[in-house]
């Protein structure tokens, strides 16, 4: 299995997060990874720190010719032209042996199969930057039944399992919801950490202590929720002493509609993924 060649078209932040997690899992050096991006030969590329364990190229065609699995990890608007170049240059039969993977919000299996002129060998995966610390989450959307592609999918799953919690094989619509929850979620949580830390600074705590304690409080709270299986409201109620400080603070959050704001944020990110899917399908991105 470790001879399987894993190719990434694009080597930006989300790919780097996966590589960091695999490095931390002591697994990167056992893998066969090739990444294509315009800055592959650039000495300042942050991926250079993995140069003993991964290969880089500027050619997406070279990448596809030397990969069993190809993951699209570039901005959505670039993918159609990349697919056209691949389709023009490489033999169709050869392409059917590659497992293609979209990690792009809104880039559906059907749109990608039109662009690549191939089907039955495309899946979608959504994961998040938390993979860098082996604390990510991921889900797959796949209905492959071809044996070769299915074994490639199993290999890919074994790789993601090293750095992220597996949420299951879900529909593409559910994957778009997860894109909002786990893909955008880290940014949403960062606004909560930043707001709480700002409050502590306003009250007089040092910035460094405020940031560290706000983040550690979120980490500890997440740990209790996951390990105890408690509903968030239960934990919130447990620490809200009648007439105490916490319930006063919670009243302010309710007055400002914070829970509604988080729901709107999630719905907005989800709707954006669906709009992007429509635009990509109609080729107007
Ligand atoms: N960030 C997330 O949490 C997350 C999660 C899931 C999915 N995604 C999706 O994954 C994609 C990449 O996100 P990112 O945050 O990693 O973006 P990013 O940091 O901006 O990286 C984009 C990468 O694409 C490369 N690139 C540009 N043009 C290319 C081409 N023609 N051929 C090959 N590579 C090319 C860039 O290379 P150069 O630097 O050399 O130009 C860069 O390595 C996006 O579509 C995003 O929506 C992101």
Q: Which of 71, 74, 105 is the pocket-test mutation for ligand 1 (most atoms within 8 Å of CB)?
A: 74
Which atom of ligand 1 is nearest to 126's Cα?
Answer: 6
pLDDT computed for residue 104 by the predictor: 94
**pLDDT > 70? residue 2:** no
Query: Which tens digit of pLDDT belongs to each residue from 206-228?
Result: 999 999 999 999 999 999 999 99
State the Cα–Cα distance between residues 177 and 185, nearest whole angstrom.
11
Domains of the chain: 5-171 (3.40.50.720), 185-273 (1.10.3730.10)
157 contacts: CB under 8 Å, gap ≥ 6: 140, 166
pLDDT band at 48 (very low <50, low <70, confident <90, very high): confident
Give the range among 115-119, 169-173, 177-181, 194-198 with minimum mean pLDDT: 115-119
| Partners of 69 in the β-ladder | 6, 99
Residues above pLDDT 90, as percent of the chain? 86
**Dihedrals phi, psi of 134, to nearest 5 degrees:** 60, 30
**pLDDT of 283 higher than 80:** no
Residue 1 CA, ligand 1 centroid: distance in Å:
27
Distance 30 CA to ligand 1 centre (A): 24
Sort strands 164-169 and 5-9 into parallel, antiparallel or unpaired. Answer: unpaired
* pLDDT recorded at residue 51: 87
Q: Which tens digit of pLDDT belongs to each residue from 66-82?
A: 999 999 999 999 999 99
Give the C-alpha separation, 107 to 37, whole Å.
19
**Binding positions:** 60
Judge if the beta carbon of residue 73 lies within 6 A of ligand 1.
yes
Beta carbons within 8 Å of 103's beta carbon, 6+ residues apart: 14, 71, 72, 73, 124, 125, 126, 127
SS3 170: coil
* Closest ligand 1 atom number to CA of residue 39: 40
Q: What is the mean pLDDT of the chain?
A: 94
- Which band of pLDDT confidence, cut at 50, 70 and 90, is reported for residue 254? very high
- 273 and 179 Cβ atoms separated by less than 8 Å: yes
Q: Angle, nearest 10°, between helix axes 258-281 and 109-116? A: 20
Closest C-alpha residue for ligand 1 atom 44 = 75
3-state secondary structure of 195: helix
Q: What is the mean pLDDT of residues 251-258?
A: 98
Across residues 6-16, what is the average pLDDT? 97
Which tens digit of pLDDT belongs to each residue from 121-162? 999 999 999 999 999 999 999 987 777 788 999 999 999 999
pLDDT tops 70 at residue 256: yes
CB 156 within 8 A of CB 2: no
The string of pLDDT tens digits covering residues 170-191 is 999 999 999 999 999 999 999 9
Distance 14 CA to ligand 1 centre (A): 7
Check residue 265 and give its pLDDT: 98
Give the residue ranges of the annotated binding site for NADPH. Answer: 60
Ligand 1: which atom is nearest the Cα of residue 82?
31
């Amino acid at each position: 299995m470790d001879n399987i060649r894993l190719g990434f078209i694009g080597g930006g932040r989300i790919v780097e997060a996966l590589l960091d997690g695999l490095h931390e899992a002591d697994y990167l050096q056992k893998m066969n990874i090739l990444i294509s991006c315009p800055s592959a030969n650039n000495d300042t590329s942050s991926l250079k720190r993995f140069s003993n364990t991964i290969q880089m190229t500027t050619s997406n065609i070279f990448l596809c010719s030397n990969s069993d699995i190809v993951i699209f990890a570039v901005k959505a608007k670039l993918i159609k032209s990349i697919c056209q170049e691949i389709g023009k240059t490489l033999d169709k039969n050869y392409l059917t042996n590659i497992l293609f993977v979209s990690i792009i919000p809104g880039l559906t299996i059907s749109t990608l199969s039109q662009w690549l002129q191939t089907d039955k060998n495309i899946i979608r995966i959504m994961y998040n930057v938390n993979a860098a610390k082996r604390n990510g989450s991921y889900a797959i959307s796949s209905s492959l039944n071809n044996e070769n592609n299915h074994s490639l999918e199993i290999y890919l799953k074994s790789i993601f399992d090293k750095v992220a919690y597996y949420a299951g094989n879900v529909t593409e619509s559910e994957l778009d919801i997860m894109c909002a929850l786990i893909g955008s979620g880290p940014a949403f949580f960062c606004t909560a950490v930043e707001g709480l830390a700002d409050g502590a600074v306003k009250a007089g705590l040092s910035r460094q202590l405020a940031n560290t304690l706000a983040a550690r409080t979120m980490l500890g709270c997440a740990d209790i929720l996951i390990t105890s299986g408690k509903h968030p409201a239960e934990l919130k109620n447990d620490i809200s002493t009648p007439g105490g400080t916490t319930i006063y603070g919670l009243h302010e959050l309710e007055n400002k509609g914070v829970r509604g704001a988080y729901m709107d944020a999630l719905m907005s990110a989800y709707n954006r993924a669906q709009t992007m899917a429509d635009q990509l399908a109609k080729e107007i991105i």
